[in-house]
Amino acid sequence: MLTANDVNGEYVNGTMGTIIDISKERGDAICIQVLTDKGKKVDVYRYEREIERQDIEEREEKDENGKTVIVKKIVRKIVGSFKQFPIKIAWAMSIHKSQGQTFGQVNIDPRCWDSGQFYVAVSRAESVAGIHFMAPIMKQYIRTLSDEVIKILRESLYSII
């Protein structure tokens, strides 16, 4: 899974795919080519992030009357940086992280603990055929019984009522 938005719009945070090539220079990876789940080849490069710390600086200045005053100012200081490829293994992801995405196949543990989670999980699948439950669906697992959830369950031949 890609974990950042591409500046050229080739991929977005959450894009899923498979690594198909790694370009190297002097033993170091410089580019990773990914075949997205939508069938598009994209090149992924390292990006650099700076680590900042905020400090308060004090200095003496003269005000308009010539009186010395202490002026405090918040300044940002760069204390480090790192480079990495915006990629992570995504054999599984949370329901929260999956929001806004659609998948051909989803494996769902129906034992949801928050209102609306079951609906979000079920609605990530492109079709009912792509939904696989890791445990039997029981009424107490579903924190909401909206008409949409009941419809999806009935279409997938599961009955909770």
For 82-97, the pLDDT digits (tens) are 999 999 888 777 887 7
Are 116 and 128 part of one and the same domain? yes
Q: Which residue has the higher pLDDT, 114 or 82?
A: 82
Residue 161 lies in a domain: no
Number of separate domains in the chain: 3
Angle among Cα 129, 20, 45 to the nearest 5 degrees reads 110
Show the domain range for 18: 1-46+85-91
Of all residues in the chain, the percent with pLDDT exceeding 70 is: 93
Picking from 39-43, 95-99, 124-128, which range would have the lowest pLDDT averaged per residue?
95-99
Listed ranges 14-28, 101-115, 134-148; the one with the highest mean pLDDT: 14-28
Query: What are the pLDDT digits (tens) for 66-76?
Result: 999 999 999 99
Which tokens is 127 given? Answer: 């079709």
Which residue, among 98, 152, 95, 97, has the nearest Cα to 129 in the 3D structure? Answer: 152
Where does the pLDDT of residue 145 fall: very low under 50, low under 70, confident under 90, or very high at 90 and above?
Answer: low
The pTM score is: 0.56
Are 99 and 150 part of one and the same domain? yes
CB atoms within 10 A of CB 19: 12
pLDDT at 161: 47
CB atoms within 10 A of CB 20: 10
Are 104 and 127 part of one and the same domain? yes
pLDDT at 158: 55
Q: Which helix (H) or strand (E) holds 33?
A: strand 28-36
Summary mean pLDDT of the chain: 85
